[in-house]
Amino acid sequence: MTETTSLLDNPILEGTTTPLPLFDRIKPEHVLPAIDAEVKRARKVVARLTELPDPDWNSLMIPLEEIDERIGRAWGPVGHLNSVCDSEALRPVYQQGVAKMTEWSSELGQNEALYAAIRKVSERDDFANLSDQRKKVIEHALRDFKLSGAELEGPAKKRFTAINMRLSELSTAFGEHVLDATHAFELHLVHASDVAGLPASVLASAQQRASQSDKEGGWLITLDAPSYVPFMQFADNRGLRETMYRKHVTRASTGTLDNGPVIDEILALRTEAAALLGFAHYAASSLASKMANDVTEVTGFLRELAAKSKPQAQEEFAELQSFAANELGIDELQAWDVAYAAEKLRLKTYAISQEELKPYFPEKSVVSGMFGLVEKLYAITIKEHEDVPKWHESVRFFEVFNSSGQQIAAFYLDPYARAHKRGGAWMDECIVRWQRPDGRLQLPVAYLVCNFDAPVGDRPALWTHDEVTTLFHEFGHGLHHMLTTVDELSVSGIRGVPWDAVELPSQFMENFCWERQVVDLFARHFETGETLPDSLFDKMLAAKNFQSAMIMLRQIEFSLFDTLLHSEYKPDESVQQMLDQVRDEVSVLKPPAFNRFQNSFSHIFAGGYAAGYYSYKWAEVLSADVYATFEEEGILNAVTANRLREELLSIGGSKEIMDAFVAFRGRKPSVDALLRHSGLSAEQGVKNE
């Protein structure tokens, strides 16, 4: 078979022009030939573009958008499969693919001739005539060239490229170590006394897990969140809780999977790369494309929230310690007791638990109710379409239509935890909205991925209210991607949106999970069909801000650690020392010395949140203030929702987010709404009654 023939039969390449990726045909052996072919093609186009004597939007920028689209359509499905269907066969070719993509990205980002050509476009007399979207594309392109090292020369440029190559390898290795360490340990329990306290639904899932893993009876507990979290909340056996906790917080910290050396090398290389670009530290280079102006603004923001949360958090922790000692016989509260004691205290205080709510949140009702909410708010219709290529039998596919019946978007939903799928929940772009040069409008398609319990036997999947909130969160990201009306690829959907604003639509959606009129749309008992009783809803609402200040401080701890780590990094000071210092400053609950949380902190070492984890809280301020508008004008007010859609959800990265926020809200954001929603007041440490 010739190379040409094999490329013609390559479903990855074929998928760059089909409506959707051909997931049912993609195999590991297709990956590298497809990437090589697309990069080879792109290099030829770039070489031609750099020779243009008088480049303009049509002659230069449109071909660059086409390159971006084709390579993205080839590589995107591969990265997605690596996350949802990791395998021994795919992993090595994915690693090689990452190296090839990093090399291409560095090559393109450092192309001086291309950089000069785009500058020429920005200096043309007719630049002012371009649309605001196109001006923003060029503005972002010039900024990103600088951040990619295009202005570096000689050895510095060569070193910068080498650093980026190595960082991509390390990031991939970090994530693989966490995944492998998570799946390397499991607890097979066969005695009923070992699972005392676990609710029936948790036991059923653990039994099914054992059966699927070919265990002879009993219950299988793993470090995956749907198994680990409820075990830590409900298991009466303190010794087993300690075992699970130790295994969870020491993941990827020993042997061949130890991420300690990986972290040290990542930090050293990030610091060196930032210095080559002329930044004082890596955090400064990260913030160059974010809303926040500098590290001082970020740390000031975080410390303000900490100061307003810590007094209440101290009260919450003291209450938990007293309860554990007096009611549970735990005189010295340990880290592996906290979730257990908290659940018991929640149950005593509010007479409600997550498990009690699960029967009211079956998958079918939750999904259809969520769809009903967004259909009402945004005048859209969502319909399932089954006949599309998928990567797993449990994946579903939906199409989105506007009020005129025209399709405007689509998305995949992959809700269940399973082996070879990385943990957590996320939204990612599959296809980006784009007015193609040939006149066709390319519609956006999203991936929505969660890790919830699957159906057990004849019983439907039942989710906790926390998981329902997670689903709403990811769907908020999905709406941001799918409701865009931007036509230019580089600033469409979530592209070009500052990292510290991208969580706004997702966190905004979470608020609806606490509204009675919305909960009635999706809370239906899986056996009786009855809605959530007022008594349960009232308890759920009362318990909403249970230990909210402790939760707030935990997120601030992660955020401040990340920011300081990337702005005050010193090779002779250990990462653990930095984390300990942050905990001394903001935490009320100090983890044990053996805790190696940082070794599995994938957000900043294997994801896109390096020197940006604060974005969750930053965007939460924005989202809480946006939601306050709905509280003022009507929770299901379609007029308000349409204004939100027009001013924020649809604009992608084509406008400054602060300007868009002010256009929607009529003023700049305030932390007051977030503090109020969290059960705190704007006054330091004072509770709202």
Q: How does pLDDT run across 181-222, given as a tens digit for each residue?
A: 999 999 999 999 999 999 998 999 999 999 999 999 999 999
User: Is the same domain home to 126 and 204?
Assistant: no
Give the list of residues 6+ apart from residue 226 with CB closer than 8 angstroms, or none: 205, 417, 451, 452, 453
Confidence of residue 5 (pLDDT cuts 50, 70, 90): very low
Residues paired with 426 in a beta bridge: 449
Q: What average pLDDT score do residues 260-284 get?
A: 98
Q: Are 461 and 416 in contact (CB under 8 A)?
A: yes
Same domain, 99 and 233: no
Tokens of 124: 């043309």
65 shares its domain with 132: yes
pLDDT classification of 588: cutoffs 50, 70, 90: very high
pLDDT of 689 reads 29
Judgement on whether residues 513 and 466 belong to the same structural domain of the protein: yes
In the sheet with 396-401, reading across from the earlier edge strand, the strands are 381-384, 396-401, 407-416, 445-452, 426-431
Whether 340 is in a domain gets the answer no
Is 324 inside a domain boundary?
Answer: no
Whether 535 and 468 share a structural domain: yes
Check: CB of residue 405 under 8 Å from CB of residue 164. no
- Asked whether the beta carbons of 147 and 106 are under 8 A apart, the reply is no
Residue 566, pLDDT > 70, answer: yes
| For residue 592, pLDDT beyond 60 | yes
Which whole number is the average pLDDT over 455-468? 94
Choose among 609, 616, 606: nearest CA to 82.
606
Q: What is the tens place of the pLDDT at every residue in 281-330?
A: 999 999 999 999 999 999 999 999 999 999 999 999 999 999 999 999 99
Domain identity same for 207 and 91: no
The pLDDT score that the predictor gives to residue 497 is 96
Model pTM? 0.89
pLDDT at 681: 67
Element of type H or E holding 382:
strand 381-384
Model confidence at 484: pLDDT above 80: yes
Domain count, the chain: 3
| Whole-number pLDDT of residue 6 | 61
| Residue 616 predicted with pLDDT over 60 | yes
* 134-to-11, 126, 128 alpha-carbon distances in Å: 32, 12, 10
**Mean pLDDT value across residues 238-259:** 98
pLDDT for position 348: 95
Q: Is residue 500 part of a domain?
A: yes
pLDDT of residue 419: 86
Question: Residue 684 has what pLDDT?
Answer: 41
**How does pLDDT run across 343-395, given as a tens digit for each residue?**
999 999 999 888 889 999 999 999 999 999 999 999 999 999 999 999 999 99
pLDDT in tens, 90-132: 999 999 999 999 999 999 999 999 999 999 999 999 999 999 9
Domain boundary among 202, 236, 251: 251
**Could you tell me the pLDDT band of residue 680, with boundaries at 50, 70 and 90?**
confident
Q: Count Cβ atoms within 10 A of the Cβ of residue 436 and give its class: 0-12 exposed, 13-18 middle, 19 or more buried.
A: middle
Strands (E) across 402-556 are located at 407-416, 426-431, 434-435, 441-442, 445-452
- Write the CATH number for 506: 1.10.1370.40
Residue 680: strand, helix, or coil: strand
Instruction: Supply 685's token pair.
Output: 């440490």
Say what percent of the chain tops pLDDT 70: 98
pLDDT given at position 543: 93
On whether both 443 and 508 belong to a single domain, the answer is yes
Given a cut of 80, is residue 687 above it in pLDDT?
no
Residue 8 pLDDT grade (very low, low, confident, very high; cuts 50, 70, 90)? confident
The reply to whether 20 and 69 lie within a common domain is yes
Tell me if 71 sits within 8 A of 80, measured CB to CB. Answer: no
- Both 211 and 65 in one domain: the answer is no
Question: Can you read off the two tokens belonging to residue 333?
Answer: 């509260």
With 50 as the cut, is the pLDDT of residue 152 above it? yes
In a domain, residue 333? The reply is no
| End residue of a domain, out of 197, 223, 251 | 251
Return the structure tokens found at 117.
């050509």
Distance CA 57, CA 13 (A): 27
Average of per-residue pLDDT across 73-98: 96
**630 domain-assigned:** yes
Buried b (16+ CB within 10 A) or exposed e, 612-648: bbbbbbbbbbbbbbbbbbbeeeebeeeebbebbbebb
Q: What percentage of residues in the chain have a pLDDT greater than 90?
A: 93
Mean pLDDT of 148-174: 96
Closest CA to 389 of 9, 25, 11, 5: 25
Asked if residue 672 belongs to a domain, the reply is yes
Final residue before a domain boundary, out of 100, 134, 151: 151
Q: What is the per-residue pLDDT for 354?
A: 82
Domain that holds residue 366: 359-546+617-677
Among residues 355, 429, 467, 474, the one annotated as catalytic is 474
Q: Give Cβ neighbours of residue 291 (< 8 Å, ≥ 6 apart).
A: 498, 500, 501, 618, 657, 658
Residue 686: predicted pLDDT: 32
Q: What is the mean pLDDT of residues 599-609?
A: 95
Quick one: three-class SS letters along 465-494? HHHHHHHHHHHHHHHHHHCCCCCCHHHCCC
Q: What integer pLDDT is reported at residue 683 of this predicted model? A: 47
Q: Do 227 and 110 sit in the same domain of this protein?
A: no
Q: Tokens 């659940």 — which residue? A: 343
Higher-confidence residue of 680 and 105: namely 105
474 given a catalytic annotation: yes
Q: In terms of domains, do 112 and 196 share one? A: no
Is 351 a domain residue?
no
Residue 157 lies in a domain: no
Closest Cα partner for 491 from 604, 353, 655, 364?
Answer: 655
100 and 13 in a common domain:
yes
Residue 682 has pLDDT above 70, yes or no: no
